[in-house]
Homo-oligomer: A and B are copies of this chain.
Amino acid sequence: VVVRGELAFIQRLIERLPQPPPGQTWAGDDAAVLVEGRLLATDLLAEGIHFDLDWCEPADVGWKALAVNLSDLAAMGGTPEAAVVAVTVPDEGVADDLLDGLLECAERHRCPLVGGDTSSGDELVVAVSVSGTTKPPAPVLRSGALPGDTVFVTGPLGAAAAVLARLQAGEAVPPDEARPLLRPEPRLEEGRAAADEEASAMIDVSDGLALDLHRLCQASGVGARLEASAVPVAPGATLEQALGGGEDYELCFTGATGGIRIGEIVSSPEVLLDGEPLPPTGWEHAL
């Protein structure tokens, strides 16, 4: 469930923005599209909402804060250019650990961290912003899906939710197994490949397949029919976690080839799973 304030703020932002020039797309997609297909996006992680330092390290938070932004670029078919980070941190040790994870992710995904700002604060809040580039046929928007398009995802779903459930139950999950939740990998190559194959629409599965596919369908003015047996469920996860758990950071795209086929786009605006309505429920805040 998305917090109410979030909906209000982003919805009002979208409503109140002036119309962008032709070819640009502002708020409402995974990243904003500026002139020449350049991308700009921001995403924040807040302690007590997105993570709990009882079950993750500041370095994990650093990694993830950048990774979720890179996932937004991936969902447009983009390539990272640079990142900046603004943080409130309770102490220097946390700041230094956070930086470890940020720089690790930056190096892994070739997105240099080029600047930052910081302030002391009781809670750790990490806001990363990224710029990126695209080349045609990218950027791929959420709004281009057409009836008849096949719906794909780039990998198994539910792993992050399954790990979160174990951590919240107090289990000591080994780092390797916790990786889908704590160190997600943005699907940059997969996103570019889908764009090259002229995907008609794309979104990252950050809040759960059900909710994010609803968003894609709503932006495109279409619906979708999914087959439950086709949804790739990660080992250790349930179908419910795969559909509604969120934080997997796989991509969902339509109308190209490649990926795992899970259903098709239809003109009627509902999203159906095996013929039954699939409600747009998604990621619950971790706390």
Which residues in B have their C-beta under 8 angstroms from that of A86?
Answer: 42-44, 86, 127, 129
Query: How many angstroms between the C-alpha atoms of A273 and B239 in the bound complex?
Result: 71
Name the segment of A11-19, A151-159, A189-197, A250-258 touching the other chain: A11-19
User: A112-120, A171-179, A224-232: which lies at the B interface?
Assistant: A112-120
Tell me whether A84 is interfacial, beta carbon within 8 Å.
Answer: yes
Chain B residues in 8 Å Cβ range of A103: 16-17
Q: How many chain A residues touch the partner (CB < 8 A)?
A: 61
Q: Which residue of B lies closest to A15 (CB)?
A: B99
Closest-CB distance, A151 to chain B (whole angstroms)? 25
Decide yes or no whether A54 CB sits under 8 A from chain B.
no
A23 at the interface (CB under 8 A from B): no
User: Most B CB atoms within 10 A — which of A35, A46, A86, A131?
Assistant: A86
Indicate whether A85 reaches chain B with its CB closer than 8 angstroms.
yes
Residues of B within 8 A of A96 (CB): 8-9, 12
Say whether B49 contacts A3, CB under 8 Å.
no
B115 pairs with A26, CB closer than 8 A: yes
Q: A50 to B112: give the CA distance in the assembly, Å.
A: 28
Task: Give 17 pairs: A residue, B residue, CB < 8 Å, sorted on A.
Answer: A3-B120, A8-B92, A9-B95, A13-B116, A26-B114, A26-B115, A35-B81, A38-B131, A40-B84, A42-B84, A44-B87, A44-B88, A44-B119, A86-B86, A121-B125, A125-B127, A129-B129
